[in-house]
């Protein structure tokens, strides 16, 4: 007879860890993430640690983005529990910047190299959320598959919150009851929801970026990967109004925007060459409407991020368009997204490098890095050199396309000086002349023969639409 999960209370978590790991000096715990963050269990585990039971081991917590309260990163907890964050926000970001948490750089597509079997951080304990199908007895990981399968492979103990607020998603999110040791039904907090974008009121700068990407890189039948934020929303909004058809989805994150296109029939995955007929994703995050939409919907299929972000799988989809954002780019074509400066960690590399490198050859598609030309402090996002000491999500040798509200800089195949001129040409007007002159006066930046500052350099397409700034 197949094993059923044992029902427990939140207050039992500490005791279960002592029973299973009391003789261990330390254990590695993987936490379910994003919209499916198991906040109640996180709080209960932290309380158990605060009680200072001498039998509890030191706990290393591995996770992607967590929403809600994360009390184990508070000051004074680090001698009993430590966060190893692969992508951070809120309290975890603050803790990492103050030295109370570790940032563990890793792309989503390669997380198995860290937490997989026989790897440096092989997982002992998994805490996550699930939704049960009462007809079949199966459980679903719902909104966040991410790297949970990799963690389940080695975990000695699996604790799941049974959450009826989470949709039952299809694909590789479905697991059996025998995969769960303990299940919690009482006192849990619902999944996290977020306001949907308003595609009828897109900011003009973001709308211009969407127009440029849609007009110059999107064709019927292409497969999409888009990130989350105002710029990806604008790209989707423009696509929705432009009459494209037969688009596909192969992404790490499925959002309200992709649902919007799928509801309109623009996304149907008919011409995608793998997983034909299905949108594939490892994470879902957005509104209550989105969660209702994906509930029991077979046309949206969940896969681990080592699948969705795998270069070969991306290439097998057919003609592909990837749209991600960044904090900045320098005149050599280096892109960064996880640090603002060497002392200010922001979030993580996520899956951006996975898709950039999967599309390194034009025959596979186009990796777009889309960003406004200015940061919130009105400084240029295009700068002479990247801040020393930070990590990069794309390097000068990666073939990327940079898009701002002023135009396109297709850096693929361009020499260094040409890259700089192209990027300066789509920078904010307040900084453009200074950047162009810096390149023009630098003998190391080899320029096109006969170039002058009044010419449009190779690789540049300036915005010529009707949307005003």
Query: 43, 161, 252, 405: which one is catalytic?
Result: 252
Give the domains, in start order, of the chain with CATH numbers.
Answer: 6-184 (3.40.1080.10), 204-462 (3.40.1080.20)
185 assigned to active site = no
From its phi and psi, is residue 269 left (phi > 0), alpha (psi between -120 and 50) or beta?
left
Residue 159 and residue 13 in contact, taking contact as beta carbons nearer than 8 Å: yes
Alpha helices, DSSP H only, in 250-375?
Answer: 256-263, 288-294, 305-308, 311-316, 352-358
Structure token pair of residue 284:
């879902």
Q: What is the pTM of this model?
A: 0.95
Distance CA 300, CA 293 (A): 9
pLDDT digit string (tens) for the chain, length 469 residues: 458 899 999 999 999 999 999 899 999 999 999 999 999 999 999 999 998 878 899 999 999 999 999 999 999 999 999 999 999 999 999 999 999 999 999 999 999 999 999 999 999 999 999 999 999 999 999 999 999 999 999 999 999 999 999 999 999 999 999 999 999 999 999 999 999 999 888 899 999 999 999 999 999 999 999 988 889 999 999 999 998 999 999 999 999 999 999 999 999 999 999 999 999 999 999 999 999 999 999 999 999 999 999 999 999 999 999 999 999 999 999 999 999 988 899 999 999 999 999 999 999 999 999 999 999 999 999 999 999 889 999 999 999 999 999 999 999 999 989 999 999 999 999 999 999 988 888 888 887 787 777 889 999 999 999 999 9
DSSP state of 34: B
Q: Could you tell me if 114 and 120 are in contact, meaning their C-beta atoms sit under 8 angstroms apart?
A: yes
| Residue ranges with strand state E in 102-232 | 102-103, 125-132, 139-140, 157-162, 170-171, 174-175, 182-184, 223-226
Let me know if 150 is exposed, middle or buried by CB neighbors in 10 A (0-12, 13-18, 19+).
buried
Distance CA(378)–CA(372), nearest Å, equals 10
């Amino acid at each position: 007879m197949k094993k059923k999960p044992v029902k427990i209370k939140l207050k039992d978590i500490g005791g279960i860890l002592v029973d299973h790991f009391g003789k261990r000096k330390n254990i590695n715990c993987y936490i379910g993430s994003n919209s499916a963050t198991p906040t109640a269990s996180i709080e209960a585990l932290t309380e158990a640690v605060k009680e200072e039971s001498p039998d509890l081991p030191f706990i290393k917590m591995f996770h992607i983005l967590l929403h809600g309260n994360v009390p184990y990163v508070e000051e004074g907890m680090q001698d009993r529990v430590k966060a190893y964050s692969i992508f951070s926000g809120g309290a975890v970001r603050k803790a990492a910047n103050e030295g109370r948490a570790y940032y563990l750089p890793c792309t989503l597509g390669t997380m198995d190299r860290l937490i997989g079997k026989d790897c440096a951080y092989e997982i002992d304990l998994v805490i996550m959320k699930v939704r049960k199908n009462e007809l079949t007895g199966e459980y679903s990981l719902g909104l966040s598959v991410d790297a949970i399968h990799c963690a389940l492979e080695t975990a000695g103990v699996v604790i799941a919150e049974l959450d009826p607020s989470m949709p039952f998603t299809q694909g590789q999110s479905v697991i059996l009851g025998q995969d769960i040791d303990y299940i919690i039904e009482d006192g849990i907090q619902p999944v996290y929801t977020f306001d949907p974008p308003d595609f009828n009121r897109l900011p003009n700068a973001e709308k211009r970026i969407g127009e440029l990407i849609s007009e110059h890189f999107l064709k019927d039948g292409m497969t999409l990967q888009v990130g989350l934020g105002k710029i990806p929303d604008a790209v989707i909004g423009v696509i929705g109004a432009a009459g494209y058809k037969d688009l596909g989805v192969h992404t790490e994150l499925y959002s309200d925007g992709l649902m919007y296109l799928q509801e309109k029939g623009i996304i149907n995955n008919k011409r995608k060459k793998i997983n034909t007929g299905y949108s594939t994703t490892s994470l879902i995050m957005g509104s209550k409407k989105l969660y209702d939409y994906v509930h029991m919907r077979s046309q949206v299929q969940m896969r681990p991020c080592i699948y969705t972000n795998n270069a070969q799988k991306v290439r097998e989809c057919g003609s592909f368009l990837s749209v991600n954002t960044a904090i900045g780019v320098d005149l050599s074509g280096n892109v960064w997204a996880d640090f603002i400066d060497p002392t200010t960690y922001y979030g993580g590399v996520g899956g951006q490098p996975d898709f950039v490198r999967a599309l390194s050859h034009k025959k596979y598609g186009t990796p777009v890095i889309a960003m406004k030309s200015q940061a919130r402090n009105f400084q240029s996002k295009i700068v002479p050199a990247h801040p020393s000491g930070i990590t990069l999500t794309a390097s000068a040798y990666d073939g990327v396309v940079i898009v701002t509200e002023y135009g396109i800089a297709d850096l693929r195949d361009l020499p260094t000086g040409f890259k700089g001129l192209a990027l300066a040409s789509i920078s904010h007007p307040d900084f453009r002349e200074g950047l162009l002159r810096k390149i023009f006066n630098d003998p190391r930046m080899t320029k096109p023969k006969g170039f002058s500052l009044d010419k449009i350099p190779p690789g540049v397409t300036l915005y010529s639409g009707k949307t005003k700034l």
